[in-house]
């Protein structure tokens, strides 16, 4: 899928000027460099669309040639671009891109939410089309892993992201700041953080297919049972991190 590949590479390239801005701009937001959030979203969306571009080979060719599919993919790309523009623009303005309580911020946040659902729905569309593909040129175990991993992204993400959107932030208990968060991820260590379950939910499309590769090697290319068991365990893990955050407990507590 050329458009997904082009978008992914563009976002990776965009990380260079964003990183430069982070190096020269001393401003902070919620205790961390103001450009950290745009960097994270550029990397996250790039990873997402490049993964979809790779998985597109398992979508039937006749589907990829249809007008509705091309139009839909164009809308997904547009949603991703607008998301990045707003998050980067908010950083440049020194304001919040999420949970912005200004009138304009509330309106844009609602539009962003709709765009995020559209963006995430691509995983579901791929899951359905790959499931319908009778000639995917891969074993049953890996096909099951692809379909299951992609299919879980939207519902699990809606659970975590939807809960966050109904609150004032992603923290539950602890300090509403990323300053003392985990290295790299920024997750709170003194209270609950809904970003943990959100992260694992969006990466179901990576964890489960990766297990599918391992399972096909050790348990047979046509044995789908290990993949299904892992899918259940992974779903349970995401739900556990979600409930853990709601209880105000950190994913990994502070040490010392």
Cα-Cα-Cα-Cα torsion 41, 36, 105, 187, nearest 10 degrees, comes to 80
Average pLDDT over residues 1-27: 94
pLDDT at 130 over 80: yes
pLDDT given at position 215: 95
What pLDDT is attached to residue 103?
A: 62
**pLDDT (average), residues 123-136:** 92
What average pLDDT does this structure show over 100-122?
A: 80
Alpha carbon separation from 87 to 13, 100, 105, 195 (Å, rounded): 16, 11, 11, 17
Averaged pLDDT, 89-111: 74
- Average pLDDT taken over every residue of the chain: 89
Rg (the chain; Cα; Å): 19
Residue 35 CB coordination number (10 Å): 23
| pLDDT of 241 over the 70 cut | yes
The angle at the Cα of 112, spanning 89 to 18, to the nearest 5 degrees, equals 30
Q: Residue 251 has what pLDDT?
A: 87
Percent of the chain with pLDDT over 70: 95
pLDDT at 167: 76
Q: Identify the band that residue 98 occupies on the pLDDT scale cut at 50, 70 and 90.
A: low
**How far is residue 72's CA from residue 218's CA, in Å, rounded to a whole number?**
38
Q: Which residue in 115, 122, 7 sits closest to 73, CA to CA?
A: 122
The pLDDT, as a whole number, for residue 101 is: 65
DSSP 176-241: S-STTSPTTT---SSSEETHHHHHHHHTHHHHHHHHHHHHHHHH-TT--HHHHHHHHHHHHHHHHH
What is the enclosing helix (H) or strand (E) of 32? strand 32-33
Q: Looking at per-residue confidence, does 109 or 142 come out higher? A: 142
CA angle, residues 22, 24, 26, in degrees to nearest 5: 75
Nearest to 47 by CA among 112, 106, 119: 119
Reply yes or no on whether the pLDDT at 254 is more than 60: no
d(C-alpha 63, C-alpha 55), whole Å? 14
| 89: phi then psi, degrees, rounded to nearest 5 | -65, -40
Handedness of CA 23, 8, 81, 159 (dihedral sign): negative
Contact 196, 163 (CB under 8 A): no
Q: What pLDDT, on the 0 to 100 scale, is given for residue 253?
A: 64
Give the residue-averaged pLDDT of 46-70: 95
- Alpha carbon distance 211, 231 (integer Å): 9
Judge whether residue 256 has pLDDT over 60. Answer: no
Q: What is the pLDDT of residues 159-217, one digit of tens each?
A: 998 888 777 777 787 777 676 777 778 788 888 889 999 999 999 999 999 999 999 99
> What number is the average pLDDT over the span 40-51?
96
As a whole number of angstroms, the longest Cα–Cα distance in the chain is: 58
């Amino acid at each position: 899928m050329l458009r997904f590949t082009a978008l992914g590479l563009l976002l990776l390239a965009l990380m260079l000027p964003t990183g430069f801005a982070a190096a020269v701009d001393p401003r902070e937001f919620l205790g961390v460099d103001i450009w950290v959030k745009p960097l994270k979203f550029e990397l996250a969306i790039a990873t997402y669309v490049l993964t979809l571009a790779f998985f597109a080979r398992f979508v039937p060719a006749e589907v990829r040639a249809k007008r509705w599919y091309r139009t839909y993919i164009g809308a997904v790309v547009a949603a991703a671009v607008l998301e990045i523009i707003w998050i980067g623009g908010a950083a440049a303005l020194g304001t919040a891109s999420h949970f912005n309580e200004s009138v304009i911020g509330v309106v844009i946040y609602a539009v962003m939410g709709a765009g995020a659902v559209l963006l995430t729905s691509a995983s579901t569309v791929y899951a359905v089309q790959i499931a319908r593909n009778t000639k995917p040129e891969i074993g049953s175990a890996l096909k099951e892993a692809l379909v299951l991993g992609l299919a879980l992204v939207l519902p699990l993400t809606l659970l975590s992201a939807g809960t966050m959107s109904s609150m004032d932030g992603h923290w539950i208990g602890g300090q509403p700041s990323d300053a003392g968060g985990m290295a790299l991820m920024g997750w709170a260590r003194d209270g609950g953080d809904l970003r943990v379950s959100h992260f694992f939910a969006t990466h179901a499309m990576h964890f489960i297919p990766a297990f599918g590769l391992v399972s096909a090697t050790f348990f047979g290319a046509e044995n789908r049972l290990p993949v299904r068991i892992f899918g259940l365990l992974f779903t349970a893990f995401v739900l556990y991190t979600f409930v853990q955050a709601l209880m105000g407990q950190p994913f990994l507590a502070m040490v010392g």
